[in-house]
Structure 1
Amino acid sequence: MLSDREYIITAYEQEYPRESFVSRENLTMYCVKKDDPTDSIYVFFPDTPKVGVTQIKKYVDIMKDRQANRAIIVVQQNITPFAKQALAEFSQEKKITLEQFNEAELLVNITHHQLVPKHILLTKEEKLELLTRYKMKESQLPRIQTNDPVARYYGLSRGHVVKIVRPSETAGRYITYRLCV
């Protein structure tokens, strides 16, 4: 998932050896974006099945130390309701993004499925060029929800635009764009 989001990850991080898998906390990763070293992400794997507010606060403190603005928390079970509320509060107050995935969601890479077309996140410049080329407003684009599985996989947030390339029997390929809302 991190390489699809264009973060730099080592081959060792992609294929953790089983013998090094002693504790889930040891799997914590820190990566930076290929084209923007200031954009960094943490991936946390909590040891406890249920994640609470204290663990989330601990992760936010770790992020502050390295000045990371994004994190993924891979949980074994659902997080507590107070922890969900804390995730939302930290995202609003601290201007950081905390994403939560269940382990089961990440067992299969959904973007490799034959029915899921290729999604490409547009840069701000490409988005502006698209809107000016077609003389349209952002609100006139078709939409994709932030809780859509592919949008979650790519870490899309409100205002992002994705280019979707689908195979077509008549044209060879069909390109459409979607605004994340």
Structure 2
Amino acid sequence: MPGTGWLPHHKLVAQIEAAKAYTIFVPTNHSLETQGNSSILDVDTVRHHVILGEALTVEVLRKGGHRNSLLGPAHWLVFYNHSGQPEVNHMPLEGPFLEAPGCSLFGLSGILTVGSSRCLHSHAEALREKCINCTRKFRCTQGFQLQDTPRKSCVYRSGFSFSRGCSYTCAKKIQVCSEVFPTKALPLCPGEEESRIAPGKH
């Protein structure tokens, strides 16, 4: 299929073929010429046209939903059904397509723009557990990871006496949503409330 030559150029073939399955959206030569972009695409743009882990079908695309592109969870490929015509980030499919076990290639009428991201930032949320005996085995709450070494700077109660113990810090990364896609039509970011109202629609 035209356009797949960018994969070896950016040394992405080994990573893609190592996956159990993959889907690639390939801009047609006509779409590249029309947009005046017939030169080699940059590596991030090429990654944004690849999905690892699934060989999607036309039927799946028509049902809608979204998947992470090879750029990671901050960059979604969102599927739409426009009168039976599948679209990816509002870009219609066009030209040939190939569906084989573990591999799907679809022609695309244009180039997907990098930057259609929602969850762009992440920060660590710390949780200070209660002070305990330093000799006890300690585990973080599910979803959190132990950070650094315990601090021997706390006092805990044991029976009727107080002893010096260790204070453990657990943390987890939380994604913070941007407002690139401020509509309710798209799935919410992790931790985002269902009652979110788009800006300007209060």
TM range (shorter): under 0.3
Write 1 or 2 for the structure with the bigger share of strand.
2
TM-score by length of 1: 0.26
Write 1 or 2 for the structure with the bigger share of helix.
1
TM-score by length of 2: 0.25
